[in-house]
Amino acid sequence: MRASEVMIADPVVAAAGATSSEVAALMRVKNISVVPVVDNPKDRHYMGTISDRDIVARCVGAGHDPTDCSAADHVRTDTPIVKPETELKGFKIAKQVDATDHHIRSTIVVLNGDKKVVGFIPHPEEVQGIVVG
């Protein structure tokens, strides 16, 4: 099974310059908890991901004003990335356990050859053939 067969195509993304407050509002409206961060919504060049927990723990919890912080300020760059044609059978990703809250994080971002976000796999542990551990 290839990534293109299980990914959410053309996922919601956050622009790097969007404030943490704007990203949180986007997450609330779309009922999502993680988004890829891109240079801008038109070009969609991947920079990393940001989660609701990142906004709470790394922005608000650190005493920053979420209307002053940008998504780029708190973007994570440790999210696994694959191409649409990547075979997922036997694909391994490491569990990302947050040291402060022990929350298991696992998502996969799908990029084309130009490093543009074309898909997102939010719960790879539910995809048969992917090994999380």
Helices (H), 14-85: 20-30, 52-54
pLDDT tens-digit map of 72-107: 999 999 999 999 999 998 888 876 665 554 455 678
Q: Average pLDDT for residues 32-58, to the nearest whole number?
A: 95
Higher pLDDT, 92 or 119: 119
Domain locations in the chain as residue ranges = 3-132
Which of 12, 2, 1 minimizes the C-alpha distance to 122? Answer: 12
**Residues β-bridged to residue 2:** 87
- Residue 98 has a pLDDT of 57
How far is it, in rounded angstroms, from Cα 112 to Cα 127? Answer: 20
What is the overall mean pLDDT for the chain? 90
Which residues touch 10 (CB under 8 Å, ≥6 apart)?
Answer: 118, 119
- Residue 91 has a pLDDT of 85
Is 70 exceeded by the pLDDT of residue 33? yes
Superfamily of domain 3-132: CBS-domain (3.10.580.10)
